[in-house]
Amino acid sequence: NLMGNAEQRHHYAGIFSEKGGAMKDEQEQRQLLHRRVIEVNGYARPDGWYDVEGVLRDVKGHDVDMAEGCLPAGTPIHDMFLRLTVDDALMICEAEARMTSRPYPGTCEKIVPEYSSLKGVTIAPGFTRIVRNRLGGIHGCTHLTELVGVVATVAFQTRYGTLSPEMKERPPHLDGCHALASTGEVVARFYPHWSRAGVE
């Protein structure tokens, strides 16, 4: 349990009762109905691997009738945790998922073990397709599967800080966006060995 139920309600009740700023100001009175918070942290481990941990929480600003009764305002309707442990090549060595809060207790969490199937998969082009095929639709949890993509992105960012422009293998992020096109000036400057500047 990442945060006790009483503590959760107190924490989120404070968020929903905020006054001033963008939430409630002099020009406009607004009621916050829903808040989603995603937090992801990447850690270097002593064994040379990297732990990347993500949490997804959905909270309503009003009471909600749920399958098992009324969910008080400020109590998370979703509280999901995912950890991916990756090596230097961004291969997933360990995968762990947990659900602290879910809308259908006794059913939602049955899918959690399926996320261990990510073990052995490398975060590289095609990763999203693999995740969708293994954990999409009825084969996964919508929110955990969404979290996989976010955690995978942060795994790359975690590993990125240790990559060298002189690395022997082509950096996987090249050609992943406009700025990092292998034909562009950024790659020519920072990754000259992999530059294709001038190539149409």
At 3, is the pLDDT very low, low, confident or very high (cuts 50, 70, 90)? very low
Query: If you average pLDDT over every residue of the chain, what do you get?
Result: 86
CB 130 within 8 A of CB 121: yes
Cβ neighbours of residue 146 closer than 8 Å, sequence gap 6 or more = 56
What radius of gyration, in Å, describes the C-alpha atoms of the chain? 21
Domains in the chain: boundaries: 5-162, 168-200
Q: What mean pLDDT is predicted for residues 29-41?
A: 94
Q: Is the pLDDT of residue 192 over 60?
A: yes
pLDDT tens digit string along 164-187? 555 566 776 778 788 888 898 888
Cα distance between residue 39 and residue 197, in whole Å: 37
In terms of Cα–Cα distance, which of 166, 196, 193, 169 is closest to 182?
196
Report pTM.
0.75
Segment among 17-21, 49-53, 108-112, 144-148 with least mean pLDDT? 17-21
Amino acid at 147: L
The pLDDT, as a whole number, for residue 11 is 61
Q: In b/e form, how buried is each residue of 146-168, taking b as 16+ CB within 10 angstroms? A: bbbebbbebbbebbeeeeeeeee
Q: Is the pLDDT of residue 139 over 90?
A: yes
pLDDT tens digit string along 61-103? 999 999 889 999 999 999 999 999 999 999 999 999 999 999 9
